[in-house]
Chains A and B, each alone.
Chain A
Amino acid sequence: MAMWQGAMDNRGFQQGSFNSFQSSSSDEDLMDIPGTAMDFSMRDDVPPLDGEIEEDKSYNGGGIGSSNRMMDFLEEPIPGVGTYDDFNTIDWVREKSRDRDRHREITNKSKESTWALIHSVSDAFSGWLLMLLIGLLSGSLAGLIDISAHWMTDLKEGICTGGIWFNHEHCCWNSQHVTFEDRDKCPEWNSWSQLIISTNEGAFAYIVNYFMYVLWALLFAFLAVSLVKVFAPYACGSGIPEIKTILSGFIIRGYLGKWTLIIKTITLVLAVSSGLSLGKEGPLVHVACCCGNILCHCFNKYRKNEAKRREVLSAAAAAGVSVAFGAPIGGVLFSLEEVSYYFPLKTLWRSFFAALVAAFTLRSINPFGNSRLVLFYVEFHTPWHLFELVPFILLGIFGGLWGALFIRTNIAWCRKRKTTQLGKYPVIEVLVVTAITAILAFPNEYTRMSTSELISELFNDCGLLDSSKLCDYENRFNTSKAGELPDRPAGVGVYSAMWQLALTLILKIVITIFTFGMKIPSGLFIPSMAVGAIAGRLLGVGMEQLAYYHHDWAIFNSWCSQGADCITPGLYAMVGAAACLGGVTRMTVSLVVIMFELTGGLEYIVPLMAAAMTSKWVADALGREGIYDAHIRLNGYPFLEAKEEFAHKTLAMDVMKPRRNDPLLTVLTQDSMTVEDVETIISETTYSGFPVVVSRESQRLVGFVLRRDLIISIENARKKQDGVVSTSVIYFTEHSPPMPPYTPPTLKLRNILDLSPFTVTDLTPMEIVVDIFRKLGLRQCLVTHNGHSTRFRGEAKSNETLLCPQEAYSVIGKLRTQQTGQMLRKRCAQNMLFPGGGHSYYWLVGSGKVFWKRDI
């Protein structure tokens, strides 16, 4: 955070950068850290600047003579080196090579002793163990969320006297007094009007129930938003855009922390129960990722390596979807298609395992009481006819339209919230939306019931035994058999249900736009699916009636004779749900897999695929990004979209800085600068790292050193090494330079120097540079001239050298919020560049991300 600000603001830098990690180092005591701070947050590490030396390591003032002990000291990494600041991006290459080194070391040692062998085995095993724990924890939490959300949702309508912890269904579970006509009622379950005015009939009772419903909804929503506001602001929203960004290498401290986990779990239940148009699926992914991040702290291998940790988080996201939908394979694919950035095969297997364990855990808790993982299990297996692809494709088009509409309007509303006064009143906003939702929802039974129940009812195929209004068909044939029923004419109940469903559809469409993005945990899978399911069911019933009354039409008479069961409205609802979800999220493969795992309808893969594909085409034609990408862009997270094409033909030379007329590139020399010089450079610039050259005259590149490492190391040396003063010479070479007598001891910093920085020549096309950033996950790339000699060009022609990523970010962060032009011009003078002299485009190359922005 501070780095971000520090970089944005020169004034703030003085405290900014030094204190930035001072504060983060004192963070570490905080049990809460989690974020993605690493060594820093851990107990066993000595915080670099906290001024306390826990154990007296053997180090030495750095005199020339004591090279032996000196080396010992240098082998010990200084705590804090190699970590990152908040709101920074990790260097995938560095992290991966560090892990390889570590692995190699363990493998080598394992031959030496049995203990080391055990250590290496346990190290290899720890990944799987971690997956097991993640699966167990996220499965358990999902069970907790499911059960409590059911209970609280029913609490809005009444309470169980047979045991206060039972929801409506379980209250009547064992009751002997349930009648065939009134299957939902049993004497143990008391509605609020029964409790308060001891009657369930009449207008007054209705009003009491209405009032209690709205009251409970408001109470739940208020609790949710105030808990979020007081304890963990990061717990709001769906979390998937942020997780995508984090998985691509960004660091948001505390986002995956303990408090976020607790608060998100608790408030998710409240938000779902309040009857708002939101779902728990997206937030469950966040919850699972929090579990993954917290559990990473137990394993050295993952605690200290950001790249490895991101592999774990990818798997945790899979586990999250696995428990959210009861779709383990869909979860793995979701992680692959939608969330992950770096997804090697090993992670695929681990995700598979984590998803398996999570699903198993949830199943053993059995939250739905149907011995299945999911709420929406469909039991019909009626075949579908080829002609029905037409309505399925229509549903796909509807889904695409809905997706595009939702994304546009929701983003517009969120932008309004972000930029205007509206954003200042999160609590009031939540309360108002809840009140409107509850007041409009109660009179209509399809909006009153929870959204997932609604979906499950819409997916259901009507049998003879179903009592719902949707199944109120006229039975003109003899009612002797259950099982496969022919198409029947709709009864009164169906017609009134159609009206109510149409109203529900409108309400859901409108209210979801305003709900998603409020400051409470809110996912949008369930509302999207509900919209699609309603539309699908409406179309399905329409088709069914059409086929019933006009079975002699040419399109029907070949396959739908009278008395046959040819149209299944439940299937249309499924297809519609898939289409709408696909339109909003732009998923394809994972969506179809999730849908058939969710419903158990293996026969319906082709309709689902057709709808998902159509909806993606339509939605892509109307707006190019899915909801998560749109939110990433809205918030200005540094996320490099791997799919985006790069259209401009430029060379690295055109993009790098400093530009021709800029001041010289700031470099360090390998053995001639003093501590004071370096500190001056640090405080005067905001670059995230500095190239180290042989000497100012030759400008031959030696390596690259990161600003943060440099600050920590110097600070550390000043505290712990005797005799290091401002005039001490810093050297990055293997051996200390010859010094005149009576100079203060030198400071060797070779261990923080990256000796193999990525370099390209100044004539490399930008496409290749972008690809290098994208595929390798680089953080910075040095541009050299006359490549074979890795030589920076001389001072006089300073038109080159460093793509300074971090600065680019900072500007973008700031730009998006305030004083656009001025800030940019000021910053551009130092860092930025405008290729081709025009001001319409500029490139920001940063942390493996390239921003490409027009006319800021």
Chain B
Amino acid sequence: MREGRGTRDGGRWPALSGGPEARGPAQEAPRPGAPVWLWKSRPGGEGSAFADQAWKAQDSGPSSHPLPVPEQGGSLRGRGCCVAARPFSASVFLFQVGGLAGPESLRSMKLLCLVAVVGSLLVPPAQANKSSEDIRCKCICPPYRNISGHIYNQNVSQKDCNCLHVVEPMPVPGHDVEAYCLLCECKYEERSTTTIKVIIVIYLSVVGALLLYMAFLMLVDPLIRKPDAYTERLHDEEENEDARAVAAAAFSGPRANTVLERVEGAQQRWKLQVQEQRKTVFDRHKMLS
């Protein structure tokens, strides 16, 4: 039973739990705090096979730990960030323009930018090589005898993520290491700083762009645009159902040819549409209330 329990957890330090009957003697153990019960049978016992292996691993020399090489990793990461960031900002930009620009040519572009977004969001995790910043093995060791609790953090690979490799310097003398290590809980974790960085930057730039555009629409736009006939009418007849139709008619005139005019037209139509939505939601409370 003990063996089964012990090996089930694989990656972690051999599991610490015993059955209820195993726990009984532990409570009566003369040395409180020492997990003797698991180790009593060590000489010749099968219960510690796993631990034996771990010991061997440590014996083979701590100097041979495959520590990651920070220099190379760092430079690669930097490049990854660059590559990832560009398509991102480009596609966001397209998105912005997409809302306004003339439609004909933009449909394929729309598709393109969607693909670009998807692609670039997927790129960072793929490119994020395991630099020193991005992996950790964290061991939490509770207080043991007169040693206070401690948290250890090391950049080691997943297979080395156990108490023996991570807890350095070992606070207890050799014969107590096993007992101490049994109490520690080690967890291997990965993250991608590149992804985080890229996502935050993108998010902030989109918010920034939207705020700028909002400011433009609210402050600058009314100043540079002299009030047209139709907008006045629009304001007069806020509640009038015809307003939209009239305004739409005003725009369905001869189609503009230059890109700028087309953008302008599309923007106006978009504004009308949003205005309509706003009326539905905020004024008439027909939807979403």
A227 touches B214 (CB 8 A): yes
Task: Report the minimal beta-carbon distance from B16 to chain A, rounded to whole angstroms.
Answer: 5
Q: Which of these binds chain A: B118-126, B159-167, B226-234?
A: B118-126
A140 touches B118 (CB 8 A): yes
Task: Report the minimal beta-carbon distance from B218 to chain A, rounded to whole angstroms.
Answer: 7
Residues of A within 8 A of B143 (CB): 180
Complex Cα distance, B288 from A229, in Å, reads: 13
A151 nearest in chain B by CB position: B200
Residues of A within 8 A of B280 (CB): 1, 233
B16 touches A481 (CB 8 A): yes
B179 nearest in chain A by CB position: A480
B289 touches A417 (CB 8 A): yes
A361 within 8 A of B: yes
Could you give, for residues 141-184 of chain B, a 1 whenever the CB lies within 8 Å of some chain A CB and a 0 otherwise? Answer: 11100001111010100000000000000000000000000110
Residues of A within 8 A of B34 (CB): 480
A175-207 at interface with B (beta carbon < 8 Å): 175-176, 178-181, 183
Given the contacts A266-B206, A365-B121, A27 and B269 also touching, CB distance less than 8 Å: yes
Complex Cα distance, B255 from A52, in Å, reads: 9
A114 within 8 A of B: no
Give the size of the chain B interface in residues (CB under 8 angstroms): 98
A292-340 at interface with B (beta carbon < 8 Å): 294-295, 297-298
Given the contacts A165-B196, A233-B281, A12 and B242 also touching, CB distance less than 8 Å: yes
Q: Which of these binds chain B: A142-150, A453-461, A638-646, A717-725?
A: A142-150
B241 within 8 A of A: yes
The SS class assigned to the B binding surface is helix
B217 touches A230 (CB 8 A): yes
Residue from B150, B151, B203, B262 within 8 A of A148 (CB atoms): B203
Could you give, for residues 5-43 of chain B, a 1 whenever the CB lies within 8 Å of some chain A CB and a 0 otherwise? Answer: 000000000011110100100110100111100000000
B282 touches A233 (CB 8 A): yes
A726 within 8 A of B: no
Complex Cα distance, B281 from A229, in Å, reads: 9
A259 within 8 A of B: yes
Given the contacts A233-B278, A266-B210, A478-B32, A252 and B249 also touching, CB distance less than 8 Å: no
Given the contacts A1-B276, A369-B189, A16 and B245 also touching, CB distance less than 8 Å: yes
A232 touches B274 (CB 8 A): yes
Complex Cα distance, B203 from A483, in Å, reads: 41
B248 touches A26 (CB 8 A): yes
Given the contacts A364-B125, A371-B190, A136 and B251 also touching, CB distance less than 8 Å: no
Q: Which of these binds chain B: A166-174, A550-558, A582-590, A773-781?
A: A166-174
Complex Cα distance, B179 from A798, in Å, reads: 95
Residue from B95, B103, B196 within 8 A of A170 (CB atoms): B196
A493-517 at interface with B (beta carbon < 8 Å): 517
Residue from B26, B149, B195, B269 within 8 A of A29 (CB atoms): B269
Q: Which of these binds chain B: A17-25, A394-402, A538-546, A738-746?
A: A17-25
B117 within 8 A of A: yes
B287 touches A242 (CB 8 A): yes
A465 touches B203 (CB 8 A): no
B192 touches A366 (CB 8 A): yes
B95 nearest in chain A by CB position: A262
Interface residues of B (CB under 8 A from A): 15-18, 20, 23, 26-27, 29, 32-35, 95, 98-104, 106-107, 110-111, 114-115, 117-118, 121-122, 124-126, 133, 136, 140-143, 148-151, 153, 155, 182-183, 185, 189-193, 195-197, 199-203, 206-207, 210-211, 214, 217-218, 241-242, 244-246, 248-249, 251-252, 255, 262, 265-266, 269-270, 273-274, 276-278, 280-282, 284-289
Interface residues of A (CB under 8 A from B): 1-2, 5-6, 9, 12, 15-16, 19-20, 22-23, 25-32, 42-43, 49-52, 133, 136-137, 140, 143-144, 147-148, 151, 163-166, 170, 173-176, 178-181, 183, 223, 226-227, 229-234, 236-237, 242, 252, 254, 258-259, 262-263, 266, 269-270, 294-295, 297-298, 361, 364-366, 369-371, 414, 417-419, 423-424, 426, 463-465, 477-484, 517, 519, 563-564, 634-637, 813, 817
Further 5 A-B residue pairs, CB within 8 A, beyond A133-B114, A165-B201, A233-B277? A15-B245, A25-B252, A227-B210, A259-B270, A366-B195
